[in-house]
Amino acid sequence: MADGRDNALKLALLIVNPRSRRGAAAADGVAAALRQAGLTLLQRECDGPSAIRSEILRAAPSVDRVIIGGGDGTLNSAAPALLSTGLPLGIVPLGTANDLARTLAIPVDPAAAAKVIASGYQRRIDIGDVNGRLFFNVASIGLGVELTRALTGGTKRRWGILGYAVAALKALRHMRPFSAEIRHGGERHMSRTVHVAIRNGRHYGGGMTVNDEARIDDNRLHVYSLEVTTVWQLLRLLPALRSGHHDAWTQIRTLSGQDVHLSTRRPRSVNTDGEITCRTPAHFRVRPRAISVFAPPSSEFP
């Protein structure tokens, strides 16, 4: 459906990831908040991507929406089933970064998030695809993969959002420049880089900003490559990466488009929304307005 309000309720499938940072403790409260907001629930607890996808496919004939309580990794697990069933997604942020919720201006408080879902307002958003793997926020090669490997479940539970900084310090010890060929729009770019990120949403990596103009429904992927050789050069770029103001830095190569090919001299792992899922060579493309989500009207988020 187009962006707009749908208040016809049948039954909502609620899936809470017990391994998300707040999932186990918050499950009962999330369900109570959704019921208080007027929703009828089919509640399931799923542990693992395949279980989440299977449950959505199994429940699809009898529900009119899927509500996920978890973080960005849990939402990513649900993406293939949401795409195939066409069911709209309600988000209750229970993870560490919650970048998709941040992009959509969905509040982290479960009761407030429940009201957003119950309001019935839906927006259609783009989703990224790399070698058949879907991502809402970002796919990356290089430093982002090392960060994913360092950001263990224990680190996130102990440090919360600060766990990204702890993991980053570990990842920086493995930072090594590599060569990447980026092909886009008939052009070929050779980059000596430590990190290439292909972004679909506005936020990634615990609140980093893609750029001033990026939107999750702009039908474009936004790419940057960090062409630095030392940790100190990288640290100088952090304020720009946090704010999304990249123009003043020649060490940040940027481009955007609907279709991007990336290859490396030897196969390198690709991280999608916090999970290592495939390897280069990688074909990235955007699937425009592919999934419907319950979110505040567009005037309330950039």
Percent of the chain past pLDDT 70, that is, above it, reads 84
DSSP 184: E
Amino acid at 170: K
3-state DSSP call for residue 22?
coil
Token pair 């310090």 is found at 169
Note if the pTM is more than 0.95. no
Predicted confidence (pLDDT) per residue in 171-194, tens digit: 677 788 999 999 998 899 999 999
How many Cα atoms within 13 Å fall on the side-chain side of residue 5? 6
Superfamily of chain region 4-126+291-296 = Probable inorganic polyphosphate/atp-NAD kinase; domain 1 (3.40.50.10330)
Predicted confidence (pLDDT) per residue in 213-248, tens digit: 778 999 999 998 999 888 888 878 777 777 777 777
Domain boundaries, the chain: 4-126+291-296, 133-289
Render each residue's pLDDT in the chain as its tens digit; 302 residues.
Answer: 556 655 555 699 999 877 655 555 677 888 898 999 889 999 987 778 899 999 999 999 999 999 999 989 899 999 999 999 999 999 999 988 899 999 999 999 989 999 999 999 999 999 999 999 999 999 999 988 887 777 665 555 554 555 556 666 676 777 889 999 999 988 999 999 999 999 998 887 776 776 667 789 999 999 989 998 888 888 787 777 777 777 778 898 989 999 999 999 999 999 999 889 999 999 999 999 999 999 998 644 55
Long-range contacts: 259-262, Cβ < 8 Å, 24+? 259/184, 259/185, 259/283, 259/284, 259/285, 259/286, 260/182, 260/183, 260/184, 260/198, 260/221, 260/223, 260/284, 260/285, 261/182, 261/183, 261/184, 262/141, 262/180, 262/181, 262/182, 262/183, 262/196, 262/198
- The yes/no answer on whether domain 133-289 falls in CATH 1.10.3470.10 is no
179 and 192 in contact (C-beta within 8 Å)? yes
